[in-house]
Chain A
Amino acid sequence: MKKLRFLLEKEFKQIFRDKSIVAMIFVLPIMQLGILPIAMDFEVKQVNIVIIDNDHSPLSSKLINKIGASGYFKLLAYEPSFRQGLEYLKSSEADIVLEIPNSFEKNLIKENAAKVNLTVDAINGTKSSMGSSYLTSVIADFNNNIQIFQNKNIVQPVIINIENSTWFNPYANYSWFIVPGILAFLLTIFAGSISATNIVREKEMGTIEQINVSPIKKWQFLLGKLIPFWVMGMIILTIGLLVGIIFYKIRPIGSIPMMYALSGIYLIALLGFGLFIATISNNQLQAMFISFFFIMIFALMSGLFTSIESMPEWARIISHSLPITYFIKALRMIILKGSSFADIQYIFVILIGYAIGLNGLAILNYRKTT
């Protein structure tokens, strides 16, 4: 235990002498949480539309006005022919081309039905599906008004009105979803790479040999590395939470001590992962490549951006074998839903398992005598 104190003294001195690490603790959470969630917004705000009105009737211009007034669309151009309209789609200037046929008003009045032609650029899936459904709803609304306007005695079909109520994130604000996720990811990047590169740097400098030839125990050495980085991770978490509160008004609903406990365990697991990488790499480049290989998988498979439930079976299995998946889930549950310990008890158990397993692996794989 006395030896551990000497180790910790040394590590803390070295860390706080390294200006770049100190800067990283503050800059990383502020930059990543301050900027990324604003840029990474899936909400569709401006759909560019090109309209071909072949009818030139009062009803068709009424429809066009309604589309323009809806606020979702930006009218790029009116074109005389569908072919010319399509050029906008090909050059990616427009997202949707709406063609109104020349018998639009006549058919609507005579046959009580008319068709319009919607052509959608589906490369950006989210934008196209959102855009076309906005447009469909605008047209449907227009349709209802027409029937009322004509005052025909038609029997209105029974309409089931669906009223949405959004829970836990009442304004369906995307940043509420993404901020806790990015916070979790931030801790992952930090913990997954710093312990690896730090130990490998001692390998490169040759100082690790001086450690290996001393009577220090493997666990003492690794714990001496783990504790300072754990403290730094907790500082990053705190700054990240403050950024969330100040920039995004995301005040954690659930228990904050519980969230810290969970994050503390997760950090131990990820630092252990970094320590394990350090035991298998010989230089910092190798360590960085290995840890970033895994961090990429963590980013894409953890449900950070996408829904795990909609992944194919094999991907779901991978996703559920990553500790970050559970951490992101639990962090969102605590911050946004205010979930209780009983709700996330199983996540605690899983993360403790990872913490023990990964650190055990690091201790086992670290050899003072080769």
Chain B
Amino acid sequence: MNITEANITNNNGLLSKEEKEPVIICKDLTKKFGDFVAVDHITFEVNKGEIFGFLGANGAGKTTAMRMLSGLIYPTSGQASVAGFDVYHKQEKIKKNIGYMSQRFSLYDNLSPLENITFYGGVYGVPRKEIKERSRLLIEQLGLQNEANKLVASLPLGWKQKLAFSVAIFHEPKIVFLDEPTGGVDPITRRQFWDMIYEAASRGITIFVTTHYMDEAEYCNRITIMVDGKIEALDTPGNLKRIYNENSINDVFYKLARKATREE
């Protein structure tokens, strides 16, 4: 329905080569913690408006890769630029242009949804007047009218995650990084969540998302499968299924992830 349509249009958009405009460029990016190589020479590009999926078992290095790209940790070696800014020296410039939703719920529990939107909007420099207007609209879209002034702590997890995503893209970033955004969320809410992701992508926001739900991987324009810190495969879901001769991304993933030697 909604999702499959959007999927097709986005895929078509990608196929026309002249529209390609990389917003994340990553070359041999590596992160070591002592002797442990969390991320091992990963190379890829993500284009503007793309939904880029990052798949991998727990401990495969997805989060570490994402944290390097969002300027939270320094890479050990390799190069990367995000929104045109180098990850070694221009992290603060990167931070202006990205949204980030971490694995852990990171809104303030003892503030209301409205107060959280206002705070994070303000931190990213959205003018107060604009915050006022748009936050009202956003609360309506999320169906949180009755909860707008209650504390976030009292919301169900699915609503919290949708709110956290809305907050992460409130300042209209070029790229949004989502680290397992739907962990522990029911299937219906996950579906709604992906509708929101498609809506954001249609506005030109690039989506970089990690997940270990294989059905979600099918929603992405392109996916990367990470095993033990290395990129094992990178293509559209359709191409991957064809290359590995499997019926679903789930089976492709099992084929590749079986090689993993790293324990969680």
**Given A214-B95, A369-B91, residue A10 in contact with residue B74 (CB < 8 A):** no
Q: Are B73 and A215 in contact (CB under 8 A)?
A: no
Interface residues of B in 118-136 (CB under 8 A from A): 118-125, 128
For A, the interface residue count at a CB cutoff of 8 angstroms equals 25
- B45 interface residue per 8 A CB criterion: no
- A6 interface residue per 8 A CB criterion: yes
- B192 interface residue per 8 A CB criterion: no
Residues of A contacting B123 in the complex (Cβ-Cβ under 8 angstroms): 3, 6-7, 211, 214-216
Cβ contacts A324-354/B at 8 Å (1 or 0 each): 0000000000000000000000000000000
Q: Are B110 and A3 in contact (CB under 8 A)?
A: no
The residue of chain A having its C-beta at the shortest distance from the C-beta of B88 within the complex is A369
Contact of B73 among A14, A205, A211, A369 (CB under 8 A): A369
- B218 interface residue per 8 A CB criterion: no
Q: Are B73 and A10 in contact (CB under 8 A)?
A: no
**Given A206-B106, A369-B72, residue A2 in contact with residue B111 (CB < 8 A):** no
Q: Are A215 and B95 in contact (CB under 8 A)?
A: yes
- B198 interface residue per 8 A CB criterion: no
Residues of A contacting B73 in the complex (Cβ-Cβ under 8 angstroms): 369-370
Residues of B contacting A213 in the complex (Cβ-Cβ under 8 angstroms): 70-72, 95, 98, 100, 102
Interface residues of B in 65-107 (CB under 8 A from A): 70-74, 91-92, 95-96, 98, 100, 102, 104-107
Q: Are B96 and A215 in contact (CB under 8 A)?
A: yes
- CA gap between A2 and B104 in the complex, in Å: 28
- The total of interchain contacts (Cβ-Cβ below 8 angstroms) comes to 82
Residues of A contacting B119 in the complex (Cβ-Cβ under 8 angstroms): 6-7, 9-10
Residues of B contacting A90 in the complex (Cβ-Cβ under 8 angstroms): none
- B213 interface residue per 8 A CB criterion: no
Residues of A within 8 A of B (CB): 2-3, 5-7, 9-10, 13-14, 17-18, 205-207, 209-216, 368-370
- B246 interface residue per 8 A CB criterion: no
- CA gap between A273 and B119 in the complex, in Å: 26
- CA gap between A6 and B124 in the complex, in Å: 10
Q: Are A209 and B72 in contact (CB under 8 A)?
A: yes
Residues of B within 8 A of A (CB): 70-74, 91-92, 95-96, 98, 100, 102, 104-111, 115, 118-125, 128
Q: Are B74 and A370 in contact (CB under 8 A)?
A: yes
Contact of B91 among A7, A10, A211, A368 (CB under 8 A): A368
- CA gap between A9 and B119 in the complex, in Å: 8
The residue of chain A having its C-beta at the shortest distance from the C-beta of B121 within the complex is A6
21 pairs, CB–CB < 8 Å, chain A vs chain B: A2-B122, A2-B128, A3-B122, A10-B111, A10-B115, A10-B119, A17-B110, A205-B104, A206-B102, A206-B106, A207-B106, A209-B72, A211-B123, A213-B70, A215-B95, A215-B96, A215-B123, A215-B124, A368-B71, A368-B92, A369-B74
CB A369 to nearest CB in B, in angstroms, measures 5
- CA gap between A84 and B233 in the complex, in Å: 95
Residues of B contacting A212 in the complex (Cβ-Cβ under 8 angstroms): 72
CB A153 to nearest CB in B, in angstroms, measures 89
CB A204 to nearest CB in B, in angstroms, measures 10
CB A200 to nearest CB in B, in angstroms, measures 15
- CA gap between A170 and B119 in the complex, in Å: 55
